[in-house]
Amino acid sequence: MSLILDCRGYSPKFGKNIYLAPNSTVVGDVEMGDECSVWFNAVVRGDVNSIRIGNKVNIQDNVVIHCTYEKTKTIIGNNVSIGHQAIVHGCTIEDNVLIGMGAIIMDNCHIEQNALIAAGAILLENTRVEAGSIYAGIPAKKVKQLEESTFKDQNERIANNYVKYKGWFENKND
């Protein structure tokens, strides 16, 4: 059973048709939209500031989503895929974004729509990622611009796949 905890008077709020893996953790001031999934060992920790998550967001295995006390909150749009072991901290992620496995997104970063953050990339504080672009490396830099429709279709497919995957597990841990 997933761990859902109140903190500082805040209780997590969930939309419709979500999936929380049995060992996922969601704490405090977290609001999650419809069709979202939080996978194995992932932690969404709204203890020190707020976390707002749109619809059809998948938070894959071992991801950590957090913020900075009285400084930065985390805002995640719709159709966002956050790859295994990524760290998302005190930033804004717009719609149709793919965060690659093991990427680190630091405070006050702003990732515009239809962007891709490569696996292992590190976005330093205050980095702004342009819409429709790929950022990679340490520190992450723009490496390529994509046609908006190309990436939007790809990320929509991944987000839809995770809606399907969560269906395989629903009602298995009641």
Beta strand ranges found along the chain (DSSP E):
3-5, 13-14, 19-20, 25-32, 37-38, 43-53, 58-59, 64-66, 74-76, 81-82, 87-89, 92-93, 98-99, 104-105, 110-111, 116-117, 122-123, 128-129, 133-136, 141-145
Give pLDDT, residue 173. 46
For residue 94, the tally of other CB atoms under 10 A from its CB is 20
Tens-level pLDDT at each residue, the chain (174 residues): 899 999 999 999 999 999 999 999 999 999 999 999 999 999 999 999 999 999 999 999 999 999 999 999 999 999 999 999 999 999 999 999 999 999 999 999 999 999 999 999 999 999 999 999 999 999 999 999 987 777 777 888 899 999 999 999 976 544
Token output for 74: 């985390």
Q: Distance between CA atoms of 37 and 55, rounded to whole angstroms?
A: 10
Query: How do the residues of the chain divide into helix, strand and coil, expressed in percent and rounded to 5?
Result: 15, 40, 50
CATH code of the domain occupying 3-169 = 2.160.10.10
Give pLDDT, residue 171. 63
pTM reported for the whole predicted model = 0.95
Question: Domain residues of the chain, as ranges?
Answer: 3-169
